[in-house]
C-alpha cells in the first residue's frame, strides 16, 4: 500500500492527536477548510456580515461549480442545504404525492429518511413499501422488477447508496435503470458515498441526490447539497419559497394566474439566509477534494483497501459479529462485540484516543429489525487513515474479547444520541 496521503495542506490538527475512525459520522476538516471558515467570520466581524458576503460572492458561486464537477452535473442543478436530511426533506415534501401513490425504499435507509417518508406518506395517503433485499440488506433487482411491474406504478423510489451502519452498498446504477424505465421519480441518498467513492448522477440516472458536508467531504457541520436534474426541478412546486427563489408579480402571470415567478433551477429549493462561513468552508472542502483526486486518483481505492484490511482483521476475532460484506464495498464497517455494550466498546477506544461511533435501532430501523439487534458499533475509514491505525484499533477489540474470555467483561448501559444526516 502506498504511503499516507498527508500533506501540509491535508493536515488536520486532530489527526496528530488521535486516530479518527468516525468519518461516517463526521470527518476531521483539513486545516485549509477550518481557516477559510475562520477567515470569513473575521471578515464579518471587521466589515459587517453583508459586506463580507458581497466580497466573498465569487467564492460562494464556486461552491456550485465544485459540487457539480464532483458528481458530474451542471451548477444550476445544485442547491445548498444545511444537511443531507434537510435536502431530502425539502424535496420529498415538495413532491405533492397523492392518495394511493406508492413509495419504494430499501431496508438500508437511514432513520431520518424513513421518518420523513413515512410522514409524507401519512400526510398524502401514499403507501411506503420496503423492497426485497439480500442477506446484507441490498435491494434485489428481481424483487424491484416485480415491485415495479405489479400494481400501480410507483411514484417515488428512494434508495440509500451506502448504508451508514453496515458498509453494504445498494446497486444504485441498476436500480436507476429499472426505475427510470418505469417512469418513477428516483432519489439517491449519497450521504455515505459522495467523497468516499466515485459518484456520477448520469450513471445513476437519478432525478435527485442528497449529500452531507461533514462526512466524507470533510466540510463543516451544518452544510449539505441537493442535486435535482434539469427539467425536473421546474416541475416541482417547492414547499418553501422566499426572495431568492421567487419574484413577486404585481400582475398575475397570464400562463398560470400566479403572482409568483419561481426560479426554474435547483436554487428554487434554497432559502436566502444561510451560514455563509460554513458555505464557503464546504466550497473549500470540495475544491480540496477535487485537487486531491486530480493528483492522487487512487484515493477511493485506498479507502476500500483500508476498509478491507479492517474487515479482514475483525473477521479473525471469532466472537466479533461483522456487519459488513466480506469484500469491502464502502469505507463503513459495522460490528458487534458480544458481551459488551456498544458504548462500552466506544469508550474503550476513546480511552486510547481512537474515535469510533455507535448506532441504534432508530438510526436504521428497518435493517436493525431484520437483524434482530438494537445497537452496533461502526467505523468509517478515510483516505488519511493508515493500516497502522487499524492495527491499534483491532488491538483494543482483541483486548476486550480477551477480557470477556477471562470473565471481566463490562455491561455498562449504552448512552447514545440521535444523529441526523
CATH number of 13-28+297-405: 3.90.1150.10
Question: How far is the first Cα of the chain from the last one, in angstroms, to the nearest whole number?
Answer: 32
Q: Does residue 302 surpass a pLDDT of 60?
A: yes
Q: Give, to the nearest 10 degrees, the angle between helix 276-295 and helix 31-47.
A: 150
d(C-alpha 283, C-alpha 281), whole Å? 5
CATH number of 31-292: 3.40.640.10
Q: Does residue 22 surpass a pLDDT of 60?
A: yes
Q: What's the whole-number mean pLDDT along residues 379-400?
A: 96
Q: Which residue has the cell 428497518?
A: 366
Percent residues over pLDDT 90 in the chain: 87
Task: Give residue limits of the domains in the chain.
Answer: 13-28+297-405, 31-292
d(C-alpha 130, C-alpha 308), whole Å? 29
Percent residues over pLDDT 70 in the chain: 93
Write down the pLDDT at residue 121.
98
Q: Closest Cα partner for 332 from 188, 172, 164, 210? A: 164
How many other CB atoms are there within 10 angstroms of residue 294's CB atom?
Answer: 8
> Which residues make beta-bridge pairs with 377?
335, 358
pLDDT-based confidence at residue 406 (cuts at 50, 70, 90):
confident
8 A C-beta contact, residue 190 and residue 161 = yes
Write down the pLDDT at residue 58.
97
Amino acid at each position: 500500500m502506498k504511503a499516507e496521503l498527508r500533506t501540509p495542506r491535508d493536515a488536520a490538527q486532530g489527526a496528530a492527536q488521535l486516530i479518527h475512525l468516525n468519518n461516517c459520522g463526521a470527518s476531521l476538516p483539513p486545516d485549509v477548510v477550518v481557516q477559510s471558515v475562520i477567515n470569513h467570520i473575521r471578515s464579518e466581524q471587521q466589515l459587517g456580515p453583508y459586506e463580507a458576503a458581497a466580497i466573498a460572492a465569487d467564492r460562494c458561486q464556486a461552491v456550485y461549480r465544485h459540487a457539480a464537477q464532483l458528481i458530474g452535473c451542471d451548477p444550476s442543478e445544485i442547491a445548498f442545504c444545511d444537511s443531507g436530511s434537510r435536502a431530502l426533506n425539502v424535496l420529498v415534501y415538495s413532491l405533492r404525492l397523492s392518495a394511493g401513490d406508492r413509495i419504494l425504499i430499501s431496508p438500508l435507509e437511514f432513520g431520518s429518511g424513513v421518518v420523513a417518508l413515512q410522514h409524507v406518506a401519512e400526510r398524502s395517503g401514499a403507501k411506503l413499501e420496503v423492497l426485497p433485499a439480500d442477506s446484507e440488506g441490498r435491494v434485489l433487482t428481481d424483487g424491484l422488477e416485480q415491485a415495479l411491474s405489479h400494481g400501480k406504478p410507483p411514484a417515488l423510489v428512494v434508495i440509500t447508496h451506502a448504508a451508514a451502519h453496515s458498509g453494504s452498498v445498494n446497486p444504485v446504477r441498476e436500480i436507476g435503470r429499472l426505475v427510470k424505465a418505469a417512469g418513477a421519480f428516483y432519489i439517491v441518498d449519497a450521504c455515505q458515498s459522495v467523497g468516499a467513492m466515485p459518484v456520477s448522477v448520469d450513471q445513476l440516472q437519478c432525478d435527485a441526490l442528497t449529500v452531507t458536508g461533514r462526512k466524507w467531504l470533510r466540510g463543516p457541520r451544518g452544510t449539505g447539497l441537493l442535486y435535482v436534474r434539469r427539467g425536473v426541478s421546474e416541475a416541482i412546486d417547492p414547499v418553501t419559497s422566499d426572495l431568492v427563489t421567487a419574484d413577486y408579480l404585481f400582475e398575475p402571470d397570464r400562463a398560470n394566474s400566479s403572482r409568483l415567478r419561481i426560479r426554474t433551477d435547483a436554487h428554487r429549493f434554497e432559502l436566502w439566509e444561510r451560514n455563509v462561513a460554513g458555505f464557503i468552508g464546504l466550497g473549500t472542502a470540495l475544491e480540496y477534494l477535487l485537487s486531491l483526486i486530480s493528483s492522487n486518483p487512487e484515493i477511493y481505492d485506498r479507502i476500500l483497501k483500508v476498509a478491507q484490511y479492517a474487515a479482514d482483521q475483525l473477521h479473525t476475532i471469532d466472537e466479533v459479529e461483522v456487519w459488513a460484506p466480506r469484500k469491502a464495498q464502502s469505507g463503513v464497517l459495522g460490528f458487534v462485540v458480544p458481551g459488551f455494550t456498544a458504548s462500552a466498546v466506544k469508550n474503550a477506544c476513546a480511552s486510547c484516543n481512537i474515535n469510533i461511533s455507535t448506532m441504534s435501532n432508530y438510526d436504521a430501523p428497518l435493517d436493525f429489525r431484520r437483524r434482530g439487534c438494537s445497537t452496533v458499533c461502526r467505523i468509517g475509514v478515510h483516505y488519511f487513515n493508515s493500516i497502522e491505525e487499524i492495527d491499534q484499533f483491532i488491538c483494543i477489540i482483541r483486548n476486550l474479547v480477551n477480557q470477556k474470555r477471562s470473565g471481566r467483561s463490562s455491561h455498562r448501559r449504552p448512552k447514545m444520541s440521535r444523529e441526523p444526516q
